[in-house]
Amino acid sequence: MSPSKVIQAALALPEKDRIELVERLLETLGPETNGVDDPAFSQELERRSKEVDSGRAETIPWSQLKNEPS
């Protein structure tokens, strides 16, 4: 399967499943991850994931966010 098809399929997943996918992909990265392997970064990802899972996080759809100026 091509990377573009994988991305397309991943974007079709529910948000909770996309978060799980990202977490699992991050676990596969080696030590040269530009800080992604930093324990504080991992803790922050875990904290945010729990907020989303519990419904406490305010999420913004990508379709809205991608159109906002940076």
User: Distance between CA 43 and CA 49 in Å, rounded?
Assistant: 10
Residue 50 lies in a domain: yes
Structural domain of 58: 3-65
**Contacts with 37 (C-beta within 8 Å, 6 or more apart), sequence order:** 29, 31
8-66 tens-digit pLDDT: 999 999 999 999 999 888 888 776 656 666 788 888 988 998 998 898 988 888 888 88
pTM exceeding the 0.75 threshold for the entire prediction = no
For the chain, what is the domain count?
A: 1
Residue that the structure tokens 């909770």 belong to: 16
Residue 27 lies in a domain: yes
Token couple for 16 = 């909770």
Give the pLDDT confidence score for residue 32 in this predicted structure.
Answer: 67
Residue 70 lies in a domain: no
Residue 7 lies in a domain: yes
